Structure 1
Amino acid sequence: MKKIRLHVNQHHLHGILYDTPAGRAIWENLPVTAKGNTWGEEIYFSIDADVKMEKGTEIVEEGDLCYWPPGSAFCIFYGQTPASLEGEIRPASAVEVVGKITDDVEVLKQVNGLPKVMVARE
């Protein structure tokens, strides 16, 4: 596992990237700074990484860090999205889980608008 730090507006969080091909591909492209988009309780932004989907999933957990192939996007899930059913967190379509936030993600529920996001190696 590789340690990372995430800055979302004024919020600072720690996380890990898994030692998988997808996690390593993203690690090699850090740091990344972007203007994020939100979709329910998900923040996402495009990244320039050669990530292959190996174990795509359509249900994720709070704090999961994922790659979404259709948008070449890095995704931070911290709650339900518009596609979620009761008690689940559902991306727009299948994602590759590449890591996890290790801090409490509740602070991300305060994020409004288009957040400024930075992901870097720790």
Structure 2
Amino acid sequence: MSDKLIELDFKSFILEAELFDTKIARKFAQNLPYTVSLMQWGNELYGSIGIDLGEENPVPKIPSGGIAYTNNGNYLCIFFGQSPAWAVEHLGNIIGNQWIRLAENQSNTSVTVKAKQQNAV
């Protein structure tokens, strides 16, 4: 994992996540923030970020709490129990088991993804 922390703000709650140190995850981070209109497919939320980040190393499985990207629609994908419909770029993971809140709150229609502000020491 990298030290790139992000926040997923669903308005009624915020989840923290950590991005991997990959080419696609770095491109994703460089273009923050995103406000994404979400659709739901089973236990996956997804929506277009409007930017093609390319493709590096798509994988067919993402764990619950996984955050991914696919250039098939330029979608940000947030998993909480679903397998991807096709291989996706695994960008990082929601920290701990915070992702359970996604299953408990089925009315998520948008998310703002932004860099987490680090506290000054």
**TM-score, normalization by structure 1:** 0.85
Equivalences for 1:1-122 in 2 at 5 Å? Answer: 1=2, 2-80=4-82, 90-103=83-96, 104-113=98-107, 115-122=109-116
Does the Cα contact within 8 Å between 1:16 and 1:102 map onto a contact in 2?
yes
Residue identity opposite 1:24 in structure 2: R
The DSSP-based 3-state class of the residue aligned with 2:67 is strand
User: What RMSD in Å do the two structures reach over aligned CA positions?
Assistant: 1.4
Residue identity opposite 1:75 in structure 2: C
Q: Which runs of 5+ in 2 are unaligned?
A: 117-121
Residue identity opposite 2:5 in structure 1: K
Residue identity opposite 1:115 in structure 2: T
Does the Cα contact within 8 Å between 1:25 and 1:49 map onto a contact in 2?
no
Residue identity opposite 1:95 in structure 2: V
Partner of 2:119: none
Deviation of residue 9 (structure 1)?
3.8
Does the Cα contact within 8 Å between 1:9 and 1:115 map onto a contact in 2?
no
- For 1:100 and 1:57, locate their aligned partners in 2 and report how far apart those are by CA, in whole Å: 14
Residue identity opposite 2:44 in structure 1: E
Residue deviations 1:39-65 (CA, integer Å, cap 9, x gap): 111111101334222211111111111
Q: Percent identity over the alignment?
A: 34
From the superposition, tell whether residues 121 and 8 of structure 1 become closer, same or farther in structure 2 (CA, over 3 Å): same
